[in-house]
Structure 1
Amino acid sequence: MLDKEEVDSSKDNRSYDNDQNAVERGQQRFKTYYKGQELVDEEEWGSFWNILFVPLPACFWIAQSHPSSAQMNAICKQLKVYFSSTYEDDSFRMTSPYSLKWFPNELAWCLNISRQVLKRDEKLSKLHDFIVEQNSSGVINRQEAVSMLPPILLQVEPGDKVLDMCAAPGSKTAQLLDMLGAKNNSSVERQSLVVANDANLKRCWMLTHQLKRFSCPYLVITNHEAQRFPVEMHFNKILCDVPCSGDGTLRKSPDLWKRWYADTGMNLHSLQIAILLRGCDLLEPGGRLVYSTCSFNPVENEAVVAEVLRRRSTQIFLIDVKHLLPNLKFRKGLTSWKVKNNAEELGFFNCYEEVPLHRRKKIPPSLFPKDDLEDLGLNKCIRILPHDQDTGGFFIAVLERASRDTQDTVEMNIYDKEKSFIKTRRISRLISDDPFERLSSVNISLLKTIADFYGLDEELLSNHLMTRNSDTERVRRIYYLSEQVKFIVENSIGNLNRLTSTDGNEKYAYRVVHGGLRCFEAMDSKYQVECPYRIVFEGAPLIASRMSKRLEHIHDEEIWDFLLHIKDTIKISEIPFVDLRTNLEQTSPGSVIFCFTNESTKDYLTAWLGPSMLSIFVATEDIRLLQSHISRNYISLNDMLNNDA
């Protein structure tokens, strides 16, 4: 009789065997399907197949809107020199890191080793820690190389209204925000809008946390199924990175082998069409939409694009963007493919007419290639195969909407049938019970107090400051919202009782999870304060650029380092820097902002000034990130790469 440990061991072995068998079966299904599709020529199949088992190299892009971007790029160039000859160890082989030539300003880098090696190898532990720290601070963003392409091809500019239809986990949205922030064009800032939408509420809250570091007043996070996104507003730039089977990520996620089936892509096909159709209907005339998947499967890619082009033939067309991708190796879109017959071992349907009648509900004609594919311009689509340039697999189609539709007989939009959706779907109380209200209509005297205390433009604040409805009796939190964001939140489900269209019908309201930028928060003070509202850390960059009072400029790195090491509270009399101490002694109690600037850094620190004390109001993790931004806290290259030194 086996004892308990032996029984558990035998179960583990059986589990491993089962997993291994599942992997091998998935690999055989994959090989049979894509060889049948003639995805690559027979002579290059070995190269394509073998690289699927090689882990992806670690890649990241540098946030050009971040004040430390130039310094980070310089460090990457030093890494390139350090590894100019092959660096070889018993456990790994590393060649020189390189910048991705097709990324704007060459601000994306590939370390040429996998994330697993970077994480586990002791000799690279400090380099790994440095990369993790810079990712947390927002200086860099770790992301698979090909996943960086859709935002680049969207070509966003200040003043654009951008919709990311399936935004989580948020890497592409972060890229869009960085591209807009780097333009620094304040004259059109108020017209910019980025809506990050996701169908999963938990992922929406994750987006809120991930994107707050951009301190962006024109960001809204919504919770909708993408194919049912409200049509009250149209956008001139739309990113449509749809749910897919994901077999282009096998190098990153080898567990996918166990559950790889051809019909996974077939089952997603109709949803992908519905999402892309809704994206086209939300696109302004002359606007641009990027459709993308991380799948090799043509039924998720070319078949979807072709069907949408047929249904929106007078509105939407494909454009050629190869000139935007210098030094990127890619293939043209397919103009022929096959549809798997899962009822027959290893078989394919040659045409839709071969599909049995009882199976046609699940196998629609849109899965099949037709004679119009060249006329539709599918060769303008972009296919990226992993063995071409050591990447993952990816598909991209860039579409534009005609400046004016050529005829009026456009198919009736599917959202015409969805007006009952608001009433029938269960709505989270986290969203519906707390709409935004304009601060100017809730408490105009408070608005005047804040404007005068911080030296802000009262008229500007009256147009942009809002609070949540639950705060109206005693305002606790105040948000800064751009012009376009205000339209979204004022047409949210929380305001459903106000929403009627001109014909008397209910509007289809937005489910807003987060909107704008939190800037002010009420303080409970034991002493008299002219304005008991402090500036919060995430809103400091925006407010500091507009305020003429209570802003302390710091240029001395020693003073800045001292402020960052204050443990919550310090007596003003104990501050060792005379000019700073004098300025604070002459400032009335209330919130202050310290702004540190040098040639490579611009950072903000929010604090509360009492009659005799200074309190720092920044979370510990944010303090650590601020400390990492100043030059003398960047670890030297020698220390980073020589742990024994």
Structure 2
Amino acid sequence: MGKFRGKRRKNKDQPEGQRSGENRAGGESYVATIIDHGNYKMEAYYAAQGLHNTQWTDNATLTSCSNWGEFEAERLRWRASATQILPASFRFAADIPSTLREKCEKEMNELLQVVGNDVVRPLQFLPHAYQLGVDRSMIRKDPNLKAFFEWVKLRNLAGFITRQETVSMVPPVVLQTQPGDCVLDMCAAPGSKTSQILERLGVEGSLIANENNAKRAHMLVSQLRRIMHMNPSVLVTCCDGQFFPSKILQFDRILCDVPCSGDGTSRKNIGVWKTWSQAAALSLHTLQLQIAWKGAANLLKVGGYMCYSTCSNNPTENEAVVAELLRKSNGALELVEVNLEGFKTRPGWTSWKVFCESQTQRESKNKQKKNSAKMMAKRREWQEKEAEAGDDGEIVAATASSTDVDNPTISDEPDVDEEAKASESKDDGIKERFQPTTMDEEYLIEMAKKSGLEYWPSYDGVPEPFRGRVRPSHFKPTDEEIASFHLRRCVRCLPNDNDTGGFFVALIRKVGDISVADRQQHDDLDSKQPENKRARLGEKEIESKQGPGLDDTGERLVKGNQVRDENGKSIQGLGKDDFVPVKDNILNELIDTFGLTESNFQKDLIMTRASSESKNIYYISRPIKNIIDKGIQNKVTVISSGLKAFVRSTLDGTSMYRVCQDAAHFLVPHMSKRKFVANIDDFEKCLTSERFIQIAAFSDDLQSQIRELSIGSFVLILDGYEDELQHKMVVTLWRCRTDRVDQLVAQVERDAIVAKVRSIREAL
């Protein structure tokens, strides 16, 4: 899921191109200006944490920095990486035929010969994945790369390749999903990692892709649609990850890519350098822990694997969460070594420091607003009006003294320049650039404290006012825990190591059962939040297991009114649109029309949505149907699953069902009526951009077969590919009243089929 997304605000005074982050080259660009100004607090925090204490040597060996010069060089490399826009990367889909993939790679290499071989380099840790030496903006703008850009765009739409950030490809590789696995993606949107998992899963496996935001869940469906036509074994659900029901089924693999502060995304989200706050990491730590614990303790099978990942560099969100998982499991969870061939990774940390802002964000904003030039001007105006209305200077004096209390360094009549400086300065008052002169640990801690951060070596030293924000699980493990946790098996990816974004990943194996007592101890973590925070989150006290929000098994219900849009408002009614069996009279009509014989057609896989009145009928894979039968729709809101198989259409004045292109290849093996096998010449004629095709254009044999049909839907299969579902060489058509047929294939899929046909012709 990556970075935690709040409501985005646009700076209207900033040029449009610079708002989008496109102008990253040149010293005068907006991004370079932001980086040059720096963020004292963030830079001091990571320097004190030891982020720059190691470096890569010329022979690709990770060693400790031995002096300040090496430390400073490493820090500047990390800092400079943020001024460069993130390079583009993509991977070929794992489920496309090998002959087609080889053909596409040959086309790619021919197109790139114009600009040189250094434009693209293969990623060794994932076969048939590539990282470009240029960013997406450069691909669009460079005339020499125009042909390559069009090639990437069309192959992406066809589903042959997926444009995906390099570090985003890492978690599915680490998870090592096997064909036939039952997999859960707890925070799935936007869906690139989910697609990568689905490609490796095979039709025997099942994948539940969960997202807590309904709008983002629908975006996830759009992303998966390019992959689902080859493997529909995915169910998209909508509920909070920490409340995902555990009494329905358990999983072989779980991807836990939790919401995070996202400071590893600074190369594509330059706002991190302006808005970074340690408070975000401290507060998200609890949510991350709840989601991860739910997955590892309740949803993962013994012997199964969970991949925990964030796009953050912060140990509070990374190693601290992993350490707490291992601590609570009492040995039932263990970290597994991760090896990413040809990719520079750094080991996880066994020690880190806990810092916290001395003021909350609300306090800082209130103080900044109170000391702004606008507010001071208003106070002076009010003082002048009071002075004119008063008989003596008592009111003025009282007003001035109250102002001085809030602004002790501001004179009674501050000049305009001083007001501007006060309004532009940060909450912590640090205006100079972060520039350390030594790598001494105590010195760097003092610089972090200077930025407005408080530091405590242990939880015992945390003052009472801060204990609502700082928790015991934020702190580093004990020496005994360090020896048993093996936190160095975690993997850190820094942006300056592989020209990527920042990322963290840990692979966790469940080696034993976790007791009910241990599970409940951590499941109740949200009840330990301060009362005012629980009120803001909208959590209600639960009086008993049969109280509001729980079902008859004691699990929290997350259907219907639990689904919220991006503004936090409830979306009512989504939980009622379940998948239900098709009515017998409609199913019998389909069986009779298309010859779906009882002997080979599993009619229970044909379902519809409760609210659609059977206008759209879906093909659901057997593994997903089994999950539906276990009652998952009674626990969570199901957004989507399966492929459209039939749609009731009104064409040529008739109302009848037609076969949908989405699921045609899954229906064809079971159809004994209204399907024909075509040679490659006739098949290609159906792929024209014209909607209507004259029957006379086909070969004599095919003409006679089509003319014998009554008005309605039929399918055409390429000769030799009747049973090759993974190629999907099927076209859906409509027999019109006149002597022509209507092609019912979307342009994007038509282009994909054309590319496949061309590769077949070349092989002949």
- TM-score, scaled relative to structure 2: 0.70
Query: 2:139 matched to which residue of 1?
Result: 118
- Pairwise CA distance, 1:366: 0.7
Q: Deviations over 1:511-530 (max 9, x none)?
A: 1011222211123466889x
Q: How do 1:213-612 residues align onto structure 2 when only pairs under 5 Å count?
A: 213=226, 214-215=228-229, 216-231=231-246, 232-280=248-296, 281-322=298-339, 325-343=340-358, 344-346=449-451, 347=453, 348-371=455-478, 372-402=481-511, 404-405=512-513, 409-412=517-520, 414=523, 419=550, 421-422=556-557, 425=561, 428-439=571-582, 442-443=583-584, 445-458=585-598, 460-471=601-612, 475-490=614-629, 496=634, 509-524=635-650, 532-556=656-680, 558-565=681-688, 567-572=690-695, 574-596=696-718, 602-610=728-736, 612=739
1: CA distance, partners of 2:149 / 2:720: 27
What CA deviation, in whole Å up to 9, does each residue of 1:426-479 have, x standing for no partner?
A: 55345223222222xx21x5434433543435364223111222345xx32211
- 3-state DSSP of counterpart to 1:353: helix
Q: Distance in 1 between matches of 2:33 and 2:160?
A: 43
Unpaired runs of 5+ residues, structure 1, are: 1-8, 86-94, 182-188, 497-508, 635-645
Asked whether the 8 Å contact 1:79–1:97 carries over to 2, the reply is no
Matches of 2:489 and 2:31 in 1, distance apart? 40
- Higher mean alpha-carbon deviation, 243-252 vs 313-322, is at 313-322
Q: CA deviation at 1:386?
A: 2.1
Aligned-pair identity in percent equals 32
Q: Is the 8 A contact 1:492 1:511 kept in 2?
A: no
1:153 paired residue number? 174
Shift of 1:480: 1.6
Alignment of 1:152-231 (within 5 A): 152-181=173-202, 189=203, 191-213=204-226, 214-215=228-229, 216-231=231-246
Distance in 1, matches of 2:283 and 2:30, equals: 26
**Greater shift after overlay, 278-287 or 66-75?**
66-75
Deviations 1:549-574 (A, max 9, x none): 43333442x434421226333342x3
* C-alpha separation in 2, matches of 1:222 and 1:406: 26
Deviations 1:18-41 (A, max 9, x none): 999876665322211111111122
Task: Note closer, same or farther for the CA distance 1:28–1:454 as it changes in structure 2 (3 Å cut).
Answer: same
The answer to whether the 8 Å contact 1:97/1:110 transfers is: yes
**Structure 1 vs Structure 2 CA RMSD:** 3.2
Q: Which residue of 1 aligns with 2:75?
A: 45
CA contact under 8 A between 1:340 and 1:349: conserved in structure 2? yes
**Following the alignment from structure 1 to structure 2, what is the Cα–Cα distance between the partners of residues 310 and 57?**
38
CA positional deviation for 1:307? 0.6
Which position in structure 1 is the counterpart of 2:371? none
2:740 to 600, 604, 613: 613
> CA separation of 1:350/1:152 partners in 2, compared to 1, >3 Å: closer, same or farther?
same
Q: 1:130 to 1:262 in 2, by over 3 A?
A: same
Distance 1:597-1:131 versus aligned 2 partners, 3 A rule: farther
Q: How many residues of Structure 1 are paired with residues of Structure 2 in the alignment?
A: 581
Structure with max Cα Rg: 2
* Aligned 8 A contact 2:32 2:83 in 1: no
In structure 2, the residue matched to 1:71 is: 103
Q: CA deviation at 1:407?
A: 5.9
Q: Does the CA contact (< 8 Å) of 1:314 and 1:407 recur in 2?
A: no
Gaps of 5+ in 2: 1-10, 20-28, 54-70, 359-448, 525-543, 564-570
Q: Cα offset for 1:548?
A: 4.4
Distance 1:23-1:262 versus aligned 2 partners, 3 A rule: farther
Q: 1:142 is aligned with what amino acid?
A: R
Q: Read off the aligned partner of 1:312 and give its amino acid letter.
A: S
Alpha carbons of structure 1 residues 19 and 133: separation in structure 2 relative to 1, 3 Å: closer
Secondary structure of 1:437 counterpart: strand
Per-residue deviation, 1:257: 1.7
**2:120 maps to which residue?**
97
Give a deviation string over 1:541-600, Cα, whole Å, max 9, x none.
Answer: 2223443443333442x434421226333342x324323322312344432222347999
**Does the Cα contact within 8 Å between 1:263 and 1:340 map onto a contact in 2?**
no
- More moved, 269-278 vs 583-592: 583-592
Amino acid at match of 1:562: K
Change (3 A) 1:166 1:586: same
Distance 1:74 1:122 in 2: 21
- 2: CA distance, partners of 1:18 / 1:601: 47
Kept in 2, the 8 Å contact 1:22–1:259? The answer is: no
Deviation track 1:239-268 (CA, whole Å, cap 9, x = no partner) reads 111111112122222232221222221221
Other-structure match for 1:3: none
Corresponding residue number in structure 2 for 1:59: 89
Asked whether the equivalents of residues 575 and 636 of structure 2 are also in contact (C-alpha less than 8 Å), the reply is no
Q: Is the 8 A contact 2:115 2:144 kept in 1?
A: no
Give the deviation of 1:174 after TM superposition.
0.9
Equivalent pair of 2:313/2:503 in contact (CA under 8 Å): yes
Cα separation, partners in 2 of 1:159 and 1:298, compared to 1, 3 Å: same
Displacement of 1:145 in angstroms is 0.8
In the superposition, relative to structure 1, how do residues 553 and 345 fare at CA in structure 2: closer, same or farther (>3 Å)? farther
Q: Distance in 2 between matches of 1:11 and 1:287?
A: 51
**TM superposition score normalised by structure 1:** 0.82
SS in 2 for 1:60: strand
Answer yes or no: is the 8 Å Cα contact 1:601–1:630 preserved in 2. Answer: no
Cα offset for 1:279? Answer: 0.9
- Find the aligned partners of 1:379 and 1:31 in 2 and give their Cα distance: 23
- Please give the secondary structure, in 1, of the residue aligned with 2:288: helix
